[in-house]
Structure 1
Amino acid sequence: VGAMAATALAVWRLGPTGPLPMHFNMAGQVDRWGDRNEMALVMGGVTLVAAGIAAYCARAERDEALTEKLQDSGRFTFRFGRMIGLLAPAYVTLLMSLITFDLFSRTEDGQLTLLRWTLGGLSLLFLVLGAFMGKARPNPVLGVRTYWSLTSRLAWDKSNRLAGRLFALLGLAGLVAAPLVPPSLGMAIMVAGVLLAAAWSTFESWRVWRIDPDRKQGA
């Protein structure tokens, strides 16, 4: 968090005074410009989000009643949540600082390779999440958290195992595709894959809940 805050400060004080790209379309082209003050403000906001997630997970990890309720996965779940909650915003901050100081390589037509780096980072994140979700116990941080999965342990296990496999496969495919396919196509497929995985896992939690004789009637 300190490194992220220092990076935001460096962008605010040392960044170029000219216009900076603030938003990109699905083709990787800049469709909105800003300045270093706006860039630093956004990076500061990302830093605060990361700090909030880390603080919540650290506090929950020390909550004996909560971790006991989650049994042996409690502390690991919150440590994992804290790791993702710090690394993902840190990666975003890194990309924004590279954009600010124009350190990205460019394609033959002069476009930044930002989308390739974004696709690669998302793919790695989904691969790590997928490896964890299939083994996660019910918790307040990560997983397929629907009414049906929270009132049926069988529905939780089945839907999260499915989601874990789907996200892991999506992440692996994204890592392979990131340097090979056009970035806009890769991002479109990634978004479609996430929506499909989320919908399929949600349906699976409902389907298993319906046939679980031990399901409860309150979340």
Structure 2
Amino acid sequence: MKPYVQTGLAWSAGATLVACGISLVASSQLPDSTQIPIHWGADGSPDKFADREGATFMLWMMPAISAFIATCMAIAATVDPRQANLSASRKAYLICWIGAMIVLTGIHAGIAFMMTRTGAPSSGSPEMIRWIIAACGALFILIGNYLPKTRSTFMMGIRTPWTLSSDMTWEKTHRLAGRLFMLAGALGIIGAFVFNGIWLALQLSVLAIGATLISVIYSWFVWRTATDREEGSGYIV
């Protein structure tokens, strides 16, 4: 097993243990009620409820999700056909992996807090949602910083037919994508404390989709003039 995969699994194990601890503590503090919130709308108001048993089940879902994502990341690093390139991109891969674990643990802590605060004045506050969105924006900035340093792989980055068939196209596309994702993250952090309602929930997703689409379209234009693009094997079937 590659050292960076071991590092990712170690961080994941730590994050999963913390999430289990949060679930254990929160489960013991859940009120005896059939109206425990388990989902919140864009304005921070609870819009889905469950009894104590259902809420406990939801609390233990996040550690399971974290473990599943960690497993997928480890497997992906093993099966990628371009192992040398993925190893060269290991810092970016680890940032995505570890960052996702930290953000998921933070989200879990926020959800557990709001579930145990049923009936309290702050239980419907959107402030927790704002901080979760801001944390995701910070992760976008970190990812954007490392995207230009990646090499062509099948498991991360802007993977289009054009970037995967031309190293020049990959490099130029990810230089632009890195800047766009950093901008999206910065704007997302600002938007987390400016927007309300549905735009509070959607603004970061819109920014991320926009950055991705621009990068995909740009990759095609770069590929058209790339000097190292593949023209085919020449086989006749």
TM-score normalised according to structure 1 size: 0.80
Would the aligned equivalents of 1:152 and 1:215 in 2 still touch at CA under 8 Å?
A: yes
Displacement of 1:133 after TM fit?
Answer: 1.4
1:51–1:86 contact (8 Å) kept in structure 2: no
Structure 2 SS opposite 1:70 = helix
Match of 1:84 among 91, 99, 114: 99
Quick check: 1:120 aligned with 2:127? no
Aligned-residue CA RMSD in angstroms? Answer: 3.1
Instruction: Within 5 Å, give how 1:34-53 maps onto structure 2.
Output: 34-53=50-69
Query: For 1:165, which of 172, 176, 179 is the aligned residue?
Result: 179
For structure 2, the residue ranges without an aligned partner over 5 or more in a row are 1-15, 233-237
Aligned pair 1:21/2:31, yes or no? no
Tell me the distance in 1 between the aligned counterparts of 2:181 and 2:100: 17
Output the CA distance in 2 between the equivalents of 1:62 and 1:13.
39
Secondary structure of the corresponding residue to residue 201 of structure 1: helix
Amino acid across the alignment from 1:90: T
Alignment of 1:46-125 (within 5 A): 46-57=62-73, 67=83, 69-70=84-85, 73-102=88-117, 106=122, 111-125=125-139
Conserved? CA contact 2:82–2:152, under 8 Å: no
Tell me the alpha carbon deviations over residues 20-40 of structure 1, each in whole angstroms, 9 at most, x when there is no partner.
Answer: 222233333322212343344
C-alpha distance in 1 between matches for 2:112 and 2:68: 21
> SS of the residue aligned with 2:149?
coil
How many percent of aligned residue pairs carry the same amino acid? 24
Shift of 1:59: 6.5
Is 36-45 or 10-19 further displaced after alignment?
36-45
> Which runs of 5 or more residues in structure 1 are unaligned?
none
The residue identity in structure 1 corresponding to 2:60 is G
Paired residue total: 214
| Aligned mates of 2:147, 2:170 — CA distance in 1 | 10
Cα gap change, 1:26 to 1:70, in 2 (>3 Å): same
SS of 2:38 mapped into structure 1 = strand
Counterpart-to-counterpart distance in 1, 2:111 and 2:213: 31
Q: Which has the larger radius of gyration?
A: 2
Q: Distance in 2 between matches of 1:48 and 1:84?
A: 17
Shift, 1:192, TM fit: 1.8
Q: CA deviation at 1:90?
A: 0.9
1:124-173 Cα offsets, whole Å, 9 max, x none, are 12111111212222234431122222122122222222221111112112
* Deviations 1:27-60, CA, capped at 9 Å, x for gaps: 3332221234334433433322322333454567
